[in-house]
Amino acid sequence: MAPLTWLITGCASGFGLELAYQLLARGDKVIATSRTRSKIVDLEKQGATIIEVDPTLPDGQVKSVVEAGIKEAGAIDVLVNNAAYMLSGANEVLTAEEWQSHFDVNVFGALRMLRTVLPHLRRHRSGTIVNMGSLSGWEGHPGSGAYNATKFAIAGISESLKLELAPFGIEVVCIEPGTFRTTFLSPEHRHSSSSKIEDYEALTNGMREALDAYHQTQVGDPVKGARVIIEAVTRTGPFSNKESLPARMTLGSDAAEAVRQKLRALSESHEMWSPLTSDTDW
């Protein structure tokens, strides 16, 4: 396979950074983005094209910066929408502004990148969109409703996009990781609400303590996780005999088991309640 050009958002840490390193090592081209250029200069030394872009800026500004990066790299074959953060806090506690800011990065930022990149992929009638979802897009958790909502949104967008882009030869997959030992849960990367409601303080404090304890004990290895993503997109390794990818694909043993349990619970609930709610036809 000829080298591919990947545009990856959120390359300062986590999966974005690991993907970039592995792709450069295998001879592919990488356009790496971050809000802060200084955090990805090492990738430039390794051969990546790096661009500083704030995904919350208006479409025109994002497009101008990203287009310059694509022009420098010469092409684009794969977009990895990876930039995201976790906002914790009970649904009632989070302010409207906090909800908006969270969606602006995790959802609208991804859509801005899509609107910039898709004209290139449609023109060539090929390419792949990788939207980084989460196990949190399958099940809600107390104290992280906003993050859950953004990842449910990414999953829904991905399913719709897959159907819309299939006629143009463009593949779409939403990768839904479980827990991996990245910096995602580190205190400096977590965001919490600036407001408080006394009734939720026990929940807030308990969640903070749980995340502190869980950080760096996650079961997933990001090096292995990134390798699986690359193999899936490039149809190498265990994916070599697969013609296409599903709209949604879990990543990690914990995610696989959690989704199995979720599907089982949904099926049982559906069978119990649908007989009571289905007699509504004309």
Q: Where are the alpha helices (DSSP H) in the chain?
A: 14-25, 41-45, 59-73, 96-103, 109-124, 145-165, 201-214, 222-234, 253-277
pLDDT in tens for each of the 282 residues of the chain?
789 999 999 999 999 999 999 999 999 999 999 999 999 999 999 999 999 999 899 999 999 999 999 999 998 999 999 999 999 999 999 999 999 999 999 999 999 999 999 999 999 999 999 999 999 999 999 999 999 999 999 999 999 999 999 999 999 999 999 989 887 777 777 788 889 999 999 998 888 888 888 788 888 899 999 999 999 999 999 999 999 999 999 999 999 999 999 999 999 999 999 999 999 999
Query: How far is it, in rounded angstroms, from Cα 107 to Cα 28?
Result: 27
Q: Residue 139 has what DSSP assignment?
A: S
**CA-wise closest residue to 79 among 221, 149, 174, 163:** 174
pLDDT at position 104 is 97
Q: Are 14 and 39 in contact (CB under 8 A)?
A: no
3-class DSSP assignment, residue 176: strand
Rounded to two decimals, the pTM is 0.95
pLDDT at position 219 is 83
Strand partners, 49: 31
Q: Which residues are catalytic?
A: 147
pLDDT at position 190 is 77
Q: For the chain, which residues make up each domain, given as ranges?
A: 5-273
pLDDT at position 81 is 98
Type of residue numbered 158: S
pLDDT at position 189 is 75
Buried b (16+ CB within 10 A) or exposed e, 63-92: bebbeebbeebeebbbbbbbbbebbbbbee
Q: Tell the burial category of 14 from Cβ atoms under 10 Å away from its Cβ (0-12, 13-18, 19+).
A: buried
Query: How far is it, in rounded angstroms, from Cα 7 to Cα 117?
Result: 9
Query: How far is it, in rounded angstroms, from Cα 9 to Cα 110?
Result: 9
Domain 5-273 listed as CATH 3.40.50.300: no
Q: Which CA distances in Å does 233 have to 23, 55, 194, 214, 270?
A: 12, 24, 40, 30, 34
Task: Give me the sign of the Cα torsion angle 13, 212, 85, 39.
Answer: negative
